[in-house]
Chains A and B, each alone.
Chain A
């Protein structure tokens, strides 16, 4: 094998790429981009697209950790509620006189603790994560509503408002949102963690076969606990980012966001049953969602029709690769 000529090696590498699940996701991205460009001439504006990305980066960073969770055979539906809850805590602390910097750190810490609640119920009480996080989904949002009702908390320090617009990286007149850069760096970190470390292997083994993972010495309880802890930590971070972008905190912040986040992960080819998936897939899927949603929006497609298209896309993205796989299995 090692003595292959460089040409065949290249060819093999190319074939390998086309066989990967991510390649299909990438094709989908190209298709979605083409549709959006055809849909409206006003879509092809780099400033507009970049601005639109900043609206989705909050969900996108949660999608990264959600990829870990789903690969590990778990699910966390409480993330969007956790965003609201942590943002509420942070804003309340700030209004109680805590400096914003400290309030953010404490807010993130509270997020981690919320995640540990999820994690311990799943890991130590052996409860199904679906049920646990449906419960905490209502619990976290309820907590937020108890504290602030239907009011908005605002009047944050001016340095904190609209952080995504900080002109740190600017090419000509094009401002690259700082949240986008953050997401790309974070994605690289998550990529290395999942595909290059022992922790990553543990997460895969947890999702493939939990019993086998236990017998091969994986501390599954610890891994699960940490996964949920970090899930809520990043959700809290996303909540604080939303708070900065909107300059207000409300209890209904990011309502229904958990489904959009899970859509991103599944669209990227991660298997809802666990054991399969990649950060690259999620990374591409995030941009599919952004491009498609922005494209449909600017093409003036009705909100109901947009939902239909998103749903159909998700189903297709799951069905088509499976058809390809089944056909391949039949042939061989």
Chain B
């Protein structure tokens, strides 16, 4: 019985300690869900700035960028863009921070979104790990007046749960652009293969579909034959193994498209070590920093990507305009994004950063991400 009493004593003690904290920082009550205009309600002065999103109008706009996972150079390039915008506008007007999970699991970002809301960020830019598992979290955040901007890929089927979406490029054009990029290096003929990320990666699968459609529909590519599609799960070791298997399985292979940064680097490395550059052309979507050595030694002639720095930069400017109410997340609305000039919001509140960009020996030195 003594132990049971102790349980209750402990529960009570914890409850008291936690309850004791409560009056210091009341969160906005659900009933008075902050309307954007209620900037200076009398209570706002007493509460901590963090718990009152509506105080934003006075201080800087606070933007939190949550990547799919940390330690991913691609997302570090986006952070670079956010920081560039912050420096340009001045941190008295715009503050950009970043935080994210260690692994890119479907639900690993939930607590980061909740913490960002609790810390009083006005806009959360998130490269979502799931198309739908974050929906309830997004809804809660938006009920508290926080704007949710999905960046670097939309959440198909869940568009109503976010305010806007920023895409790095028009994904409809990526498949065709990749085929052209490869075709140009192999004289538009021969056996080709695809080395992708995971079997279920939505972006990669969408691009692969676009590639297949381009190969089938455009007579220019009639002599290019897709013989295999393999998946390296975005892990360097697995991608290398899959690439080696491709080379063994298809002795007449002329070209490989790896529409993922991990895959294209791994494939290039294999071609480099096996000295197959003359025979097999690797292209794909890669990071200039990772691909520089392969471009320099001629292993890879060209590859593509969009500009993630621009994307982050755009994300920061758009977030600021959105939080200040200068732009509405609606089709047809326009806003200015610093050096990138004016953008028009497209259907379903989607904003496209720019066209795919081809990197080769002539321009690779201009990029540091």
Interface residues, chain A, with chain B CB atoms under 8 Å away: 13, 17, 22, 26, 29-30, 33, 37, 40-49, 51-52, 55, 149-150, 152, 154, 161-162, 173-174, 184, 187-188, 191, 195, 245-248, 250, 252-253, 255-256, 278, 280, 283-284, 287, 293-294, 297-298, 300, 302-304, 307
Contact = CB atoms under 8 A, between A and B. Distances in A.
Interface stretch (B104-112, B285-293, B301-309): B104-112
A48 to B, nearest CB: 5
A302 B99 CA distance: 7
A250 B7 contact: no
16 contacts: A17-B6, A41-B50, A52-B111, A152-B106, A173-B26, A245-B136, A246-B133, A247-B132, A253-B107, A256-B105, A284-B10, A293-B111, A294-B111, A300-B97, A300-B119, A303-B101
A150 B199 contact: yes
Contact of B31 (A173, A191, A250): A173
Contacts of A40: 119
Given A149-B200, A152-B130, A300-B99, A44 B25 contact: yes
A40 B115 CA distance: 11
B22 A304 contact: no
B130 A26 contact: no
Interface string B222-247: 00000000000000000000000000
B40 interface: no
Nearest to B199: A150
Nearest to A173: B29
Given A152-B133, A246-B133, A302-B70, A51 B114 contact: yes
A124 B307 CA distance: 60
B4 interface: yes
A298 B102 contact: no
B6 A280 contact: yes
Contacts of B27: 45, 47-48
A51 B10 CA distance: 20
Contact of A52 (B6, B114, B133): B114
A264 B252 CA distance: 56
A154 B3 CA distance: 43
B264 to A, nearest CB: 22
A246 B136 contact: yes
Given A42-B51, A48-B118, 6 more contacts: A33-B14, A42-B119, A52-B114, A173-B29, A195-B3, A298-B118
Interface in B118-175: 118-120, 130-133, 135-136
Contact of A280 (B3, B51, B100): B3
B199 A37 contact: no
A249 B21 CA distance: 36
Contacts of A44: 21-22, 24-25
Given A26-B10, A51-B114, A191-B4, A42 B50 contact: yes
Interface of B: 2-4, 6-7, 10-11, 14, 17-19, 21-22, 24-27, 29-31, 48, 50-51, 70-71, 97, 99-102, 105-107, 110-112, 114-115, 118-120, 130-133, 135-136, 198-200
A40 B107 CA distance: 24
B360 to A, nearest CB: 35
Contacts of B31: 173
A250 B70 contact: no
A330 B70 CA distance: 47
Given A52-B111, A191-B7, A303 B18 contact: no
Contact of A184 (B11, B25, B97, B114): B11
A118 to B, nearest CB: 25
Nearest to B115: A297
A255 B105 contact: yes
A169 to B, nearest CB: 13
Contact of B107 (A46, A51, A149, A246): A246
A194 to B, nearest CB: 11
Contacts of A161: 136
Contacts of A17: 6
A248 B3 CA distance: 40
Nearest to B24: A44
A248 B161 CA distance: 14
A191 B24 CA distance: 35
